[in-house]
Amino acid sequence: MQDRMSALDLFGKDRLTILGETPLVAETPESLLDDDTTPIARFFIRNNGLLPERADDREAWRFAIDGKVKHPLDLSVAELKSRFPAKTFRMVLECGGNGRSFFEPKAEGNAWTNGGAGCAEWTGVSLRDVLYAAGLEDTAFFTGHFGADPDKTGSMERQAMSRGVPIAKALEEHTLLAWAMNGEPLPFIHGGPLRLIVPGWPGSVSQKWLKRIWIRDREHDGPGMTGLSYRVPVHPLPPGFDGKHAETRILESMPVRSIITAPAHGSSYEAGTRTITVRGAAWAGDDAVTHVDCSIDGGTTWVPAQMTPPRNRYDWVRWAATIELPGDGYYEIFARATDSHGRAQPFRAVNWNPNGYGCNVMHRVAVRVGEVS
């Protein structure tokens, strides 16, 4: 336990739950995600390999753009700051396996509940501005991302993770080359000095410790792009099916999700309490959240929540609802978000896949009012 505490203390983390030690992976309990902007101390950790060496000079950190471009670039962080306009957006970053532990039977990978997500203020430059400076060739189709982190064995011969996105996603204004988080220099554990932020899509495409972006004329095939890695079945699979020969597609936009951040699971209230204020957050990948509803009777009736408009695209929606209680006792509060395509969260995990991606089952917290015998 001491080693586990030290791993998080080393990076200034506050009560995160470790899911894996090598590489280090830790999630945030939902009740600690009650801030509009997630503090760095409460932001989840997801690594795919070992940690790279720390940069001695953050401003001198360099990365390259090459491949299907007319003018290959090799830029330092200082040059990025001087050549391109800086932008700040508050945006959700979410692990592709968030919610994995709710699949039955269990899927492979870290057993995330809902804590593989956070919403921080990211500062950097739009990747599209840099790509325009490089001059995309007509055949530019996909990106390939490369970081400085070694794989799980410590080898640099193979990337720990090298994913990519279609050029259209890379050219969105909100896709950033980020050097700051919540107004502070981007922490090392979160990819500093420089990382990609590709909002709305699995966090694995938001390459940490960024060293290179390769512009390709075909879909990228680095680690994390082939087989079952960060891919989901095109056609539904029976739960437990290995999926080895199934037709798959790349996991792109993340599904709609809401979490209850207050009250915490297991909270108790005095006898006679007849109203509870429930708070939370909701987001929907590339799409918008249109409404959030809460239920204490298993979905028989629903109470609409009041939503605070997001600051910018890809920000999460903060919401609150007042729940009326019929009496003392034990209650389970469910939260259900719906996106702009009319897709709502399910009661139980659906779309089972061997690596457990995209599970967005409704979040539930249990509370007690008065003495329950």
In the chain, the percentage of residues whose pLDDT exceeds 90 is: 93
Per-residue pLDDT at 157:
81
Task: List, as one string, the DSSP characters of 2-70.
Answer: HHHHHHHHTTT--S-EEEEETTEEEE--GGG--SSS--GGGS-EE-SS---PPPS-GGG-EEEEEESBS
Of 56-60, 179-183, 229-233, 369-373, which range is least confident?
Answer: 369-373
pTM metric for this prediction: 0.96
Q: Give me the pLDDT at residue 5, please.
A: 52
Range of the domain at 128: 2-250
- pLDDT tens readout for residues 221-272: 999 999 999 999 999 999 999 988 999 999 999 999 999 999 999 999 999 9
Task: Indicate if 320 and 179 belong to the same structural domain.
Answer: no
Q: Tell me, what CATH number does 350's domain have?
A: 2.60.40.650
Q: What is the pLDDT of residue 155?
A: 81
Number of domains, the chain: 2
Considering 200, 221, 250, which residue would you say is the last residue of a domain? 250
Tokens of 268: 């108790």
**What gap in Å lies between CA 140 and CA 65, rounded to an integer?**
12
Mean pLDDT, all residues of the chain: 96
pLDDT of residue 2: 46
Taking residue 21's Cβ as centre, other Cβ atoms within 10 Å add up to: 11
- pLDDT category at 4 given cuts 50, 70, 90 is low
Question: At a CB cut-off of 8 Å and minimum separation 6, what does 326 contact?
Answer: none
Q: What is the pLDDT of residues 65-110, one digit of tens each?
A: 999 999 999 999 999 999 999 999 999 999 999 999 999 999 999 9
Q: Which of 234, 250, 266 is at the close of a domain?
A: 250
- Which of residues 250, 285, 312 is at a domain's end? 250
227 and 356, same domain (yes or no): no
Q: Are residues 236 and 262 in the same domain?
A: no
